C-alpha cells in the first residue's frame, strides 16, 4: 500500500490517472486504510486527467501530501469527516482549491452530537473496557451512536486508534469552535451535497454551510442517506461534473 512519509506522519493514499488538475478525495471517519471510493477511480480519472492533533494539522498534512505528489491545485472532495477537513483546507490553502465539494458533512455540531463524538473516540480508545453510561443520540432519528458502536463490538484497528480518537475529538470540538463563522472566507466554487435521509449527520449541516459560503451551491438528494456518492452514485457524479464544467474547471 502506498504511504507518503512526511517525517512526523505517514499518510496512506491511492493514486490514479495523470494530468494538470487533480481530483482529491478525503474519506470519512469510518474508513480505515482504504475506501470504497477507490472503486470510483476509473470513472473520475476520465474527467480529471490529471499524538496531539488538530483540524489545521489535518489540513496542513493534506497540503503536504499534495506537495509530495507534486499537485499544485485540485478539486477537493470530502465526505463526512473528510468534508470538515476540506473546509479547513479551503480556509488555510484557498489558492490550492480549484473548487471544493462536500458530501454529508457539517461546519458545526450541537451539544448532543459533540458528546456523542467524544464518546465514540473513547469507545475506540478503551475497546471492551469502555463503560460510559448512557449514550445520547445527536438528534432525533440519529442511528450511529457511541452505544451502538460499543454494542456492535466494532473494533478500530490498533494502528488507526490514535487517528480515530483525534478525529472524534476534533469533530466534538466543532461545538465550541465551529467553522461556520469563518466560511465567508471560502471564495472558491463550492458544491455542497447532502442526503435527505442521512441519519448520521443530517441534512441541516449542509444547509448551514451553503448559506455561509459565498459561492456555494446546495443539493439535497432526498432519498439518499449518509455518503451520497455511494447511495446515489449516478446523480452524484452528474452533479459534480456539471458543476466543474459550469465553472470551467474541466
Q: Give the model confidence (pLDDT) of 100-154 as tens digits.
A: 999 999 999 998 888 888 888 888 887 755 554 544 555 444 445 555 555 555 5
- Round to whole Å and give the CA distance between 148 and 119: 11
pLDDT for position 210:
98
- Round to whole Å and give the CA distance between 23 and 16: 10
CATH number of the 20-27+38-107+179-246 domain? 3.40.50.1820
More confident residue, 246 or 51: 246
- In this prediction the pTM is 0.79
Give the residue extent of every domain in the chain.
20-27+38-107+179-246, 111-172
Q: Which of 13-27, 56-70, 191-205 has the lowest mean pLDDT?
A: 13-27
- Round to whole Å and give the CA distance between 250 and 181: 31
Is 79 within 8 Å of 26 (Cβ atoms)?
yes
Amino acid at each position: 500500500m502506498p504511504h507518503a512519509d512526511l517525517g512526523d506522519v505517514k499518510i496512506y493514499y491511492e493514486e490514479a490517472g495523470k494530468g494538470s488538475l487533480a481530483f482529491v478525495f478525503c474519506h470519512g471517519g469510518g474508513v480505515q486504510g482504504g475506501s470504497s471510493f477507490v472503486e470510483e477511480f476509473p470513472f473520475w480519472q476520465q474527467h480529471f486527467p490529471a499524538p496531539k492533533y488538530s483540524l489545521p494539522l489535518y489540513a496542513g498534512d493534506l497540503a503536504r501530501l499534495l506537495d509530495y505528489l507534486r499537485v499544485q491545485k485540485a478539486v477537493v472532495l470530502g465526505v463526512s469527516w473528510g468534508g470538515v477537513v476540506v473546509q479547513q483546507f479551503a480556509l488555510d490553502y484557498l489558492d490550492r482549491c480549484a473548487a471544493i465539494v462536500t458530501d454529508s458533512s457539517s461546519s458545526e455540531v450541537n451539544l448532543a452530537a459533540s458528546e456523542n463524538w467524544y464518546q465514540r473516540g473513547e469507545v475506540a480508545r478503551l475497546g471492551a473496557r469502555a463503560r460510559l453510561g448512557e449514550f445520547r443520540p445527536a438528534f432525533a432519528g440519529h442511528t450511529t451512536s457511541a452505544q451502538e458502536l460499543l454494542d456492535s463490538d466494532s473494533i478500530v484497528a490498533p494502528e488507526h486508534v490514535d487517528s480515530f480518537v483525534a478525529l472524534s475529538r476534533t469533530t466534538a470540538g466543532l461545538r465550541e469552535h465551529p467553522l461556520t463563522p469563518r466560511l465567508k472566507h471560502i471564495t472558491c466554487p463550492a458544491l455542497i451535497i447532502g442526503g435527505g435521509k442521512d441519519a448520521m449527520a443530517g441534512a441541516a449541516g449542509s444547509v448551514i454551510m451553503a448559506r455561509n459560503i459565498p459561492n456555494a451551491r446546495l443539493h439535497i438528494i432526498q432519498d439518499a442517506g449518509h455518503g451520497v456518492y455511494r447511495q446515489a452514485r449516478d446523480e452524484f457524479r452528474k452533479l459534480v461534473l456539471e458543476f466543474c464544467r459550469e465553472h470551467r474547471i474541466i
